[in-house]
Amino acid sequence: MEVRFQNFRCFKDTGRIPIRPITLLVGENSSGKTSFLAGLNHLFGLLEGSQIDLNTPPFELGSFRDISFRSPRSRVSKNFTYQHFSGGEETATWHFEDDRGDTRLMGSSFESREMEYLALGPAGIDVRLRLSEDQRRALISLGFNVVKRRNFDVYSITPPDDLVKKKGNVRGILSFPNIFTHHRFVPFLLEEWIEILSDHLKEAEAKNQVKLKPRSIFIEFDRKLMLMIRRRGTPRRMYKAFAPIRETPQRVYLHESSIINSRDVRGELTAKRLMKLSQSSEDNWDSLKSDLNEFGRKSGLFEEIYPHALVRKSQYPFEIRLRTKHAQTSNLCDVG
C-alpha cells in the first residue's frame, strides 16, 4: 500500500510513500515525523469508516490553520488531501476544508483500476460505471443524465435533480461524506431511484422499452466495491499508527520486569522483541535483520546489529550490539 498527503502540516506534497510492515521515519526534530504518523492514523480511521478527528489523543494538532500547509510567506492552504493506494491500484481520496476554524471532511472518492468511480461531496453523489448499450439507453429513458467520460470507457451517471431533493437520506450521507462509512448504503439508494423511476413510467409501451431490471447495475457495482474494499481490509488490520516511538535504550537488559509494560508508547519492548526473534527458528528474524543492517549501512551508523545474550542458553541478561565499519563492536547506547 502507499499513501500521499497534500497541503497537510509541513508537507506540500509527499508524493506516493510506500508503507511496509516495518517503516522507519528518520528525520531531525520538527521535520514532520509526528505529523506523518498523525495523518496516517487519521487515514486508517477513515478507511474503517470511523469519525475520529485530528485532535484525538495521542495526536492533537489543533485548528485547521494549524493543520493545513503554510507557505514560506505564511499563506495557509485552503484545503488538504489524503490519498490511499492499494496493491490493486484502487485509489481512495479525502478532501478537507476550513469550517469556521475547525477541520471538516468535504468529500471523498473511490476509484478502481477500471476507472469505475464513486464520490460523495458538495455536488452530491457522483457515479461512473461501465455500461452496455442497453443499460445506457435504459438509464436515459428513466431520466438519468448519462455522459461518457472523455478518453475512458466509463459513463458518468447523474439522477434527476427533483428525485435527489425528495430523498432526505442523501443529506444525511453528505453530512459526513466518507465513502467507507456509507459504501454499503449508496448503491442500494441508487437502485431505489431506479425502482421509483420505473414505477413512474405510465405507458406500457415505454415500460417495454426499458430493459433495465432493478438490482442489475448498481448492485453489481456494490459487489465490485465490496471486493475492492475487502482487499483493503488486510492493511487496515496490519497497520496501526500511534505516537512516535521514544526509545530509551539500556546498556544491559537484566530481566523482563525491567522493561516497561507493552502499552507504553515509548517502545522499550523493542529490544525484547528483537531478542526473542533472534532466538526463534522463524525466517522473520533473517528478513528483519537484513533490513535493519541495510538501514544502518545507508545511514552510516553501523554495519550490523544483533542482540547478544550474556548468559548461554538464556534470554536475560542481554544487550543490543552493533558492529561498525571498522569491525569494532559497540553497544547501542554508545551510538545513540
Dist CA 101 CA 6 (whole Å): 19
The predicted structure's pLDDT at residue 216: 59
121 vs 195: CA distance, rounded Å: 24
Mean pLDDT of 12-27: 88
Residue with cell 481520496: 93
Q: How confident is the model at residue 263 (pLDDT cuts 50, 70, 90)?
A: very low
Strand 79-85 versus strand 102-111 pairing type: unpaired
* Burial class of 129 by CB neighbour count within 10 A (0 to 12, 13 to 18, 19+): buried
Tell me, what's the pLDDT at 77? 93
Question: Is the pLDDT confidence value at 176 over 70?
Answer: yes
* pLDDT-based confidence at residue 54 (cuts at 50, 70, 90): confident
- Give residue 222's pLDDT: 65
Write the pLDDT tens digit of every residue in 237-248: 455 555 555 566
Domain ranges, ordered by start, for the chain? 2-238, 256-335
Rounded to whole angstroms, the Cα distance separating 111 from 5 reads: 17
Whole-angstrom distance, CA of residue 315 vs CA of residue 317:
6
Q: Return the sign of the alpha-carbon dihedral for residues 185, 187, 189, 191.
A: negative
**83, pLDDT greater than 90:** yes
pLDDT at position 221, please?
A: 64
* Res. 201 pLDDT band, cuts 50 70 90: low
Instruction: With H, G, I as helix, E, B as strand and everything else as coil, classify residue 74.
Output: coil
Per-residue pLDDT band at 106 (split at 50, 70, 90): very high
Sequence letter at residue 41: N
88-97, 145-154, 221-230: least confident range:
221-230
Whole-number pLDDT of residue 233: 46
Which of 298, 276, 294 has the alpha carbon at shortest distance from 285?
276
The confidence score (pLDDT) of residue 265 equals 47
Q: What is the model's pLDDT at position 214?
A: 47
The mean pLDDT of 178-205, rounded to a whole number, is 66
Q: How far apart are CA 132 and CA 148, in angstroms?
A: 12
Give the torsion through C-alpha atoms of 101, 103, 106, 109, to 10 deg: 160
pTM over 0.75: no
Q: Mean per-residue pLDDT for 54-69? A: 85
Q: Which of 170-179, 185-194, 198-207, 247-256 shows the lowest mean pLDDT across its residues?
A: 198-207
Contacts of 203 (CB under 8 A, 6+ apart): none
Across the range 255-260, mean pLDDT stands at 55
Question: Across the chain, what does the average pLDDT equal?
Answer: 78
Report the SS3 class of residue 7: strand
